[in-house]
Amino acid sequence: MADTKDRILDAAEALFADRGLFETSMRAITRAADVNLAAANYHFGSKEALIQAVFARRAEALNNRRLEALADSRARGALDLEAVLDAYIRPALEMARDEKAGRYIRLLGRVYTDPNSRAGQFLPRQYDATLEAFKPEFIRLLPQIDKTELYWRLHFLIGSLVYCMAGLDMMRLSSSCYLCDPADTEGMIRRLIAFVAGGLRAAASAVQPPIQPAVTG
């Protein structure tokens, strides 16, 4: 049996992932957690603080799993591009399969594209350092790609990943995706790695400089 604080965090995490931060009331959370409304405010102080607690609880675990995966691969000496991508992508998508932590991954995928959400203010702090730790590997493995280009590509990579995290429910968005099995985590991980590896390795010359070099307003 989880104690009150954990039950509130679990219920909040699940409801936030399903309905959104703002759409979820403290009353709905405490009802789901079978806890008194006043108790939630006693433990967390405010809804805002509860939101932060929900995110803080899992961020460190995800960061650690990514950094450990990178260190493990490095220890085995086999640090090619696919291995680096695996270390970054796999922890997130495997966590998505976990019944409880999976709700956090879905939630994270949702608020990631939400710059004005309150989450947009602390998420960078929670995940920036880990991305920075991966960056030297990308630079080393893709010396032919200039840095501006590379950073754009990392941006695109994160977009694909976040979209997968946000929910495989979204696959309905295209009716034709009936062939894709959202439950096939391993297939999704491998396919995503192959896709972004291909994108990262694409010839830099494929991008011509803008037609109007610098004078554009």
Partner DNA sequence: GTCTATAACTAGATAGAC
Partner DNA sequence: GTCTATCTAGTTATAGAC
**Which segment (28-36, 71-79, 80-88, 191-199) binds DNA by CB under 7 A?**
28-36
Residue 41 sits in the site that holds DNA (CB under 7 A): yes
Q: Which two tokens stand for residue 65?
A: 């799993």
Question: Can you tell me which of 39, 53, 101, 133 binds DNA, judged by CB under 7 A?
Answer: 39
Task: Restricting to residues 45-84, name those near DNA by CB under 7 A.
Answer: 45-48
- Of 95 and 165, the one with the shorter C-beta distance to its own copies is 165
- Of 30 and 130, the one with the shorter C-beta distance to DNA is 30
Q: Are 40 and 30 in contact (CB under 8 A)?
A: yes
Least Cα distance to 69 among 210, 188, 159, 189 occurs for: 189
Q: Are 195 and 85 in contact (CB under 8 A)?
A: no
Task: Restricting to residues 143-202, name those near its own copies by CB under 8 A.
Answer: 147-149, 151-164, 166-167, 169-177, 179-180, 184, 186-188, 190-202
What is the secondary structure of 14-36 as a DSSP string? HHHHHH-TTTS-HHHHHHHHT--
Compose the 183-212 pattern: x for residues touching DNA by CB under 7 A, - for all others.
------------------------------
Q: Which two tokens stand for residue 178?
A: 């009936």
CA dihedral for 55, 57, 58, 63, sign (positive or negative)? positive
- 126 interface partner picked from its own copies, DNA, none, CB below 5 to 8 A per type: none
From CA 117, how far away is CA 132, in angstroms rounded?
A: 23
- Of 45 and 187, the one with the shorter C-beta distance to its own copies is 187
Residue 27 sits in the site that holds DNA (CB under 7 A): yes
Question: Can you tell me which of 109, 119, 137, 141 binds its own copies, judged by CB under 8 A?
Answer: 109
**Kind plus residue range of the DSSP H or E element containing 151:** helix 147-166
Residue 121 sits in the site that holds DNA (CB under 7 A): no
Q: Are 93 and 163 in contact (CB under 8 A)?
A: no
Residue 78 sits in the site that holds its own copies (CB under 8 A): no
Cβ within 8 Å of residue 199, ≥6 positions away: 153, 156, 157
Residue 98 sits in the site that holds its own copies (CB under 8 A): no
Cα atoms in the 13 Å half-sphere on the side-chain side of 126:
19
Residue 27 sits in the site that holds its own copies (CB under 8 A): no
Residues near DNA, by CB under 7 A: 3-4, 24-28, 35-39, 41-43, 45-48
